[in-house]
Structure 1
Amino acid sequence: MTTNSIVETDVAIIGAGTAGMSAYRAALEHTPRVLLIESGVYGTTCARVGCMPSKLLIAAADAAHMMAIAPQFGVSASGVNVDGRAVMARVRSERDRFVGFVVDTVEHWPAEHRMLGHARFIDQHTLQVGDTQVRAQRIVIATGSRPAVPEAWRQALGERLIINDDVFDWQDLPRSVAVVGTGVIGLELAQALHRLGVRVRLYGRSERVGPLTDPELQALSLEVFTHELPLSVNLAHIEPRREGDRVIVRTSNRAGDVHEEAFDWLLAATGRTPNVDQLGLENTGMPRDARGIPIHDRHTAQVAGLPIFVAGDVNEDRPLLHEAADEGRIAGGNAGLYPDARLRPRRAPLAVVFSEPQIALAGASHAELRSAGIDFEVGRVSFSDQGRSRVMGRNQGALHVYGEVGTGRFLGAEMLGPAAEHLGHLLAWSVQRGDTVQQMLDSPFYHPVVEEGLRTALRQLQTALRLPRPSDEECLDCGPKF
């Protein structure tokens, strides 16, 4: 394109990540005039620095852990030898393979549908991209997010401060890493590195480890992970400094106790920031919240009746790949249909953490139910004595299931335990179908499987809900008579 050129299109999409790619496909169903603008390289956050490379590292850690605990099954191993260079070579190789699939997909789209460069709003219909002005009838913002790191830490630590993006380019495993942030990213990476022989300490300002909101499960999560990982939580201050090639992390807890420890690196897993600050949104007049994110309807993705739509991690709603894909589909479809923006249903919430034990949240969380003022009961099961879990030596954690008083409708669940990635799906599907607890109990449960623990929790929940017992002709697995 020539200098100071003008490009006209029906739909311009800013960002070629998961949400942007989904928006492109959806918009293309309504108009051939679609332009996808990317300021960096093609390849999604998930493929490059998120879901896939982290699971590759976790898979290596799981293999090492299984060898380490083999003696409990009466299996002798000659010892665990972790070849850090080989571990990271596989992580990079497989990561590059996944990224390659994404890049190939985008690069096979028509060249006139793609543009590289940073987009900035001039007004509601116009973007400046380098020397090119893009005039679009509708615009989708799918610019994603980036790790949020305190600037003081950057200045104090220099290259000794890293983020999760950096981990997956390592040539070898380091000797020691301080991980700050007990959310999903920090927990997954800290545990994986620990199991691969890296000296790790996980730091957090609260006592919460992972995304669980149920107070009982939060406490259990802290207990379980403290048993395996060096953890420093409920901290009042975290003050890292650099001494030569070492990072010294000085912390103090609420009681004023001070602790210092030296590491090779500090990995900051301290949250993410939406990529909205360099878009020139102030030139559009669109309403924005305190974080600068355009205020939009999550069922249409539209901003205040304007020809502007928002999708993906940039909205900080549910920063997960499947949610970004759904939001991109909604935003792109409605941008293509504009001004006929349609309300689109959203899938039941589902989130999984690939720690060990795994964590899953399906449907409404405990905190969401409390906040909404919904009258609900809880069914519980511990995996400590659950048959299949004990057989596998993975008998840690618990499952809480939530049901609505009066209707018996299943509302959601939170879980810390084995096979959470699979149980979470079953539970989310039940929420989306609108199943009652009784309908779930009437489904088949094989023996011996972890799912039998779910049945135990559902039976307890059904009893707590105190609903009338169906007739024997209508019920396959009724709870006790009252």
Structure 2
Amino acid sequence: MKTIHIDVAVIGAGSAGLPAYRAAKAAGASALLIEGGPHGTTCARVGCMPSKLLIAAAEAAHAAASTAPFGVHVEGSIRIDGREVMQRVKSERDRFVGFVVESVEGIPAEDRLTGYATFIDDNLLQVGDHTRVHARSVVIATGSSPYVPPMYRALGDRAIVNDDVFSWDDLPRKVAVVGAGVIGLELGQALARLGVDVTMLGARGRVGPLTDPAIREYAQNVFSEAFRFEPRAEIEAATREGDTVHLRYRTSAGALVDDTFDYVLVTAGRRPNIDKLALGNTTLELDQTGMPVYDPLTLQAGKHAVFIAGDANGVLPLLHEAADEGRAAGTNAAHYPNVAPLVRRAPISVLFSDPGIAMVGARYADLAPGSFVAGEVSFEDQGRSRVMLRNRGLMHVYVDKATRRFAGAEWIGPDAEHIAHLLSWALQMNLTVDAMLEMPFYHPVVEEGLRTALRNAVAQLKSDQ
């Protein structure tokens, strides 16, 4: 059994772990990167990139089938070859993974260790059956995994998670998507546009991350046109029948439905990968789920030399947030016991549907009633959106009454991913609605819809005076 003494041990070589390792090295510490699973990050392997590849194919199919209103007629029917679709998804996915693997392989061999790590005590790790690592500080950056409720585990390979979709060689005929969160909506709409018969079964009326009732209702209507969507379904039974799955569920209207599917795609959230770390061997304070109690600003677990970054802490499971947290955790681990709080960027969230969904800053649910106005715009008559026949959407921008500062926004609409960046920059710069309206808006662009919403907020502020 080999023993290694190191300043900082980083468990996990993903979107948080790699920046944590590099930050620790930049701070002058010796560092070791420990990884038991495949390299390549969740984003590149089974997350952001392969899902966007599938969505890109779906957008191409939808565009090809939607030319007639422009007077452009495609002769014959559109043919979607599922095998070709999945071949491109997997080949391009492998290319993205390759870039990450190359980056990892560029790290000195003596700074990399292969094997799953468990804690023996606060500062001692067992890696595989071959190495013990004594670290002055530890960064936990083990990521997260999809959660599958017990009801679906008995379905075997007919119950899948998003990771499994990108292993398909061909597209299935019929799929039930359980969960109407970000992953469910993105994949559900993409599969439907690629010719898969999709039924989406949500719970509690959820539509992605939206909390604004008006925006959520609008989005629900949009997605209901794309596939069967029951946002408040109650699933009573799930049974395997050969190579199919039989679901019995009750709709919000009380109707009992029996249906059969090739697969059930379970998108019921993700759980931090901490169960195999043997955290019970440490003196860390653990909550009722077994998660270390930690400071979300410094990422430090109590007063211990342990820091938790990225999806492993479950705060903001987004790549850019994971990278920021990784850098902060690595720096704090190197400088321990001197730690500094992470300065977070303006909150931004994007759902890559069509129309897109985005949220910036404070959510509607986070704002105190009566403290803000909600400027509104419908994209149904917005000039450029109508020109492109992409005129579906509703936006609310929230402006604080006392300061006139932009506080946040929730919306569904065209080019949401791009408008979200403009708004996140405005939020991070603490701009007022008046300063935002002084910025240039070219004509004709979709962003003119944002200007309409801002003007509507100003009109409401005047009426409240």
If the TM-score is normalised by the length of the shorter chain, which range does it land in? over 0.9
Residue aligned with 1:112, SS: helix
The answer for the alignment partner of 1:196 in structure 2 is 194
- Are the equivalent residues in 1 in contact too, given 2:358–2:417 (CA < 8 A)? yes
Q: Give deviations 1:441-460, integer Å, cap 9, x for gaps.
A: 00000111111100010011
Partner of 1:70: 67
Equivalence for 1:47: 44
Q: What is the aligned counterpart of 1:385 among 381, 401, 417?
A: 381
Matches within 5 A, 1:228-243: 228-243=226-241
What is the rounded CA distance, in whole Å, between the counterparts of 2:443 and 2:286 in structure 1? Answer: 53
| Secondary structure at 1:213 match in 2 | coil
Total equivalences in the alignment: 463
> Which is further off, 96-105 or 454-463?
454-463
The AA in structure 2 aligned to 1:287 is E
Partner of 2:149: 150
**Matching residue within 278, 281, 284 for 2:282:** 284
Q: For residues 185 and 121 of structure 1, do their structure 2 counterparts lie closer, same or farther at Cα, with a shift above 3 Å needed?
A: same
Are positions 1:431 and 2:430 aligned together? no
Contact 2:175 2:199 in 1 (8 A): yes
Distance 1:152 1:20, change over 3 A: same
What corresponds to 2:25 in structure 1?
28
Shift of 1:178: 1.1
Percent sequence identity is 55
1:239 Cα deviation after fit: 2.0
Q: 1:213 to 1:58 in 2, by over 3 A?
A: same
Distance 1:327 1:161 in 2: 33
- Say which SS state the counterpart of residue 91 (structure 1) adopts: helix
Is the contact made by 1:23 and 1:332 (CA closer than 8 Å) also made in structure 2?
yes
CA distance in 1, matches of 2:378, 2:450: 10
Preserved CA contact (<8 Å) 1:236 1:252: yes
- Name the SS for the 1:466 alignment partner: helix
Q: Stretches of 4+ moved more than 4 A in 1?
A: none
Q: 1:18, 1:44 within 8 Å by CA — same for their partners in 2?
A: yes
Structure 1 equivalent of residue 83 of structure 2: 85
Classify the secondary structure of the residue corresponding to 1:330.
Answer: helix
State the distance in 2 between where 1:467 and 1:255 align. 40
* Cα shift at 1:292: 2.3
Distance 2:367 2:288 in 1: 25
Equivalent residue runs for 1:298-313 within 5 Å: 298-313=296-311
Q: What CA distance in whole angstroms lies between the structure 1 residues aligned with 2:345 and 2:253? A: 44
Q: Which amino acid aligns with 1:141?
A: I
Distance 1:207-1:392 versus aligned 2 partners, 3 A rule: same
Contact 1:10 1:31 in 2 (8 A): no
* Paired residue secondary structure (2:380): coil
Relative to structure 1, the CA distance from residue 467 to residue 5 in structure 2 (aligned partners, 3 Å threshold; closer, same or farther) is: farther
Query: 5+ residue gaps in structure 1?
Result: 469-481
TM-score, normalised to structure 1, is: 0.94
Aligned ranges for residues 179-190 of structure 1 at < 5 Å? 179-190=177-188
Counterpart code for 1:23: A
Could you tell me which amino acid in structure 2 is paired with residue 431 of structure 1?
Answer: L
Equivalents in 1 of 2:420, 2:308: separation in Å?
27
Q: Please report how far the alpha carbon of residue 289 of structure 1 lies from its aligned counterpart in structure 2 after TM superposition.
A: 2.8
Whether the 8 Å CA contact 2:29–2:334 is kept in 1: the answer is no
Cα distance in 2 between the residues matched to 1:393 and 1:290 = 50
CA distance in 1, matches of 2:54, 2:137: 40
Task: Choose 417-426 or 254-263, whichever is displaced more.
Answer: 254-263
> How many Å apart are 1:257 and its aligned residue?
1.9
Q: Quickly say closer, same or farther: Cα 1:205–1:344, change in 2 above 3 A.
A: closer
Which deviations, in whole Å up to 9, do the C-alpha atoms of 1:119-145 show, x marking residues without a partner? 111111111112311100000011111
* Structural RMSD (CA): 1.4
Gaps spanning 5+ residues in structure 2: where? none
Instruction: Tell me the amino acid that sits aligned with residue 273 of structure 2.
Output: N
Question: Within 2, Cα distance between the matches of 1:145 and 1:358?
Answer: 25
Provide the residue aligned with 1:476 in structure 2: none
Counterpart in 2 of 1:122?
120
Aligned to 1:271: 269
